[in-house]
Amino acid sequence: MMSVKIKRLGIGGIALLLLMLIIPYNSADASTHQGNFYNVLMQDGADPWVYKHVDGQYYFTKTTGGNVTIWKSSTLTGIDAGSSRVIETGCCGIWAPEIHYINNAWYIYYAKDDGDNVNHRMYVLENTSPDPMQGTWVDKGQITDPTNKWAIDGTVLQVGGQMYFIWSGWEGDTNVRQNLYIASMSNPWTIDSNRTEIARPVYGWETNHSPNVNEGPQVIVRGDIISLVYSASGSWTNDYCLGLITANVNSDLLNASSWSKRNQPIFQSANGLYGPGHHSFTTSPDGKEDWIVYHVAKYNNAGWNREIRAQRFGWHRDNTPNLGAPEPSNIQIAVPSGESKRVRYEGEEGSFGGGAYAASSPNGSGGSKAGHIDTASSYVEYTVYAASADEYILSGRTANGTAGGGWSTLTLTINGVTSPFHVTNKGWENWGTSTKRILLNAGWNTVRFSKGNGFAELDFFDLMPAYPAALTGSVYKLVNPSSGKALDVDGGSTANGANVQLWEDNNTTAQEWRITSLGDGAYTLVNTISGKALDVAGGGTADGTNVQIWEDFDGSPAQRWTIIRNGNGYKLVNPNSGKALDIAGGSKADGTNVQIWQDNNNAAQEWLLIRK
């Protein structure tokens, strides 16, 4: 059923009301716009590494065991549905790869052995392509210090114009303990000094399992402090945790005395989550927030059966990270700053058939779930709206407690096209996240979940663009490349109905627009000085209808715009009318009116989005 929300009756109010009866603001089946999520990034995996490149893309990898696999995503929460590439490394025990960008080339550092753990060593791959998903990965061989001892979990620190390699290794040739070592590098694949031990397990929380472990070193620099956050205790236990050693950027990092270890863990089991560890650090899409990505056990005493989570962190006054505690599984947190909103469809709000039905859920987001999808004929179906035909990420909060502990699938059908929707097994009501990159048509779409292999339930699913055109909440100016002039509020007015025009690009607030992705392929543009939205006057649909600013109604039909690649820039199309943001007559003169007009992909409808 349709949810109709009357936002205003003003100029052309009756026409707008009629349009809202046929063009959705919220989609069918009681959808809502959300800026929060449950923080499982991947329902299965360990040893996550993520790097946000200067192109704004996230490059991710984790332990897969038999190769190195890298993922690419425009959002942190969409990594699991990102594009991926498998890089064959040969043989065995491929652990904890990391991808780095150093001196205009890509490098992957990973551990492998020949089938015998005692022979684990670190290796390097190089790719000089601008995009690591393309080009050739070249084996640069083993990276080692003169001792050539057992080594895993290598990472690179760059500080003071010098590169250092930091890793976890054995002191001798037997598995007694894992220490942390550092050495200097002459290039990204060569160590040029002896190793220095900078940490070994000494505290009770590090030595409570055998062998004793310090591993997974990760470095983050703030001010003049290097924080080396590492994993301690047995990775197969609930006691796995994160510890901290620090050094000053101006100290001799090859001198063990330059490093100081804290006597307590800084991140450990809490809030019903167990064994958090082997993390990496990154930032939100807009760079305003710091995030930690880490693995935890899927359930109490799950051992090496782990999932990957992420959460925001802050800083102590001494410039060391304040990681807090793992966020509780059943409490939502805000999405990373700059990420799209998402459109949420609660499981219980779908249309059920074949014996499936909505059931109560103590840990469900709305207290209910879509369950009992137990027979070949059972299903739950939703009607969803997309403002533009494009790829979207479908992220479902799912659970599987099938006897035997194996994975299950639901059969996901999008507009008649089916594919498996995988759900890990960690118990009923212990919700995880299943994701899929899907293609939606512009307008209404049908999404169905039906019986697959095993059994699974659905709390809800979210939709968001796979490739958002702008960072939500960021401020942009829109410049027409043909004229070099900007989208401008006439006279910098803040009044409802103030005209929008073309004007000399002068970087004033009259030319600043805060863009928000609504999750369904549409965006709002709000002028920063007035707080008012780019608006089609009266919700009109005719060629030549004026564009103005008006009170922000958070995505009413007159204020929704798709942002679609057009030549070297973008075109903005109002889904309500199907017409494009247009410079009247293609004029280049200051004061030329901006209107909507038939979408014809010409220069008068092309805009550059320049982030401020």
Which residues are catalytic, by number? 47, 215
**DSSP conformational letter for 2:** -
β-strands 151-159, 162-169: how paired? Answer: antiparallel
Beta-strand ranges (E) seen in 128-265 are: 138-142, 151-159, 162-169, 177-187, 190-191, 196-199, 212-222, 225-232, 241-248, 260-261
Alpha helices in 569-611 (DSSP H): none
Residue carrying structure tokens 């640069």: 140
Q: Residue 77 and residue 55: Cα distance in Å, rounded?
A: 17
Contact 147, 195 (CB under 8 A): yes
Q: What is the CA radius of gyration of the chain?
A: 27
Residue 511 backbone phi and psi in degrees, to 5: -115, 15
Q: Residue 320 and residue 329: Cα distance in Å, rounded?
A: 26
Q: Residue 416 and residue 490: Cα distance in Å, rounded?
A: 48
Beta-strand ranges (E) seen in 367-499 are: 368-371, 379-386, 390-400, 408-414, 417-423, 427-440, 443-451, 457-465, 475-480, 485-489
429 is written with which tokens?
Answer: 């009501």
Q: Find out whether the peptide bond into 97 is cis, omega within 30 degrees of 0.
A: no
Q: Residue 332 and residue 35: Cα distance in Å, rounded?
A: 10
Burial class (CB in 10 A: 0-12, 13-18, 19+), 193: middle
Residue 137 backbone phi and psi in degrees, to 5: -90, 120
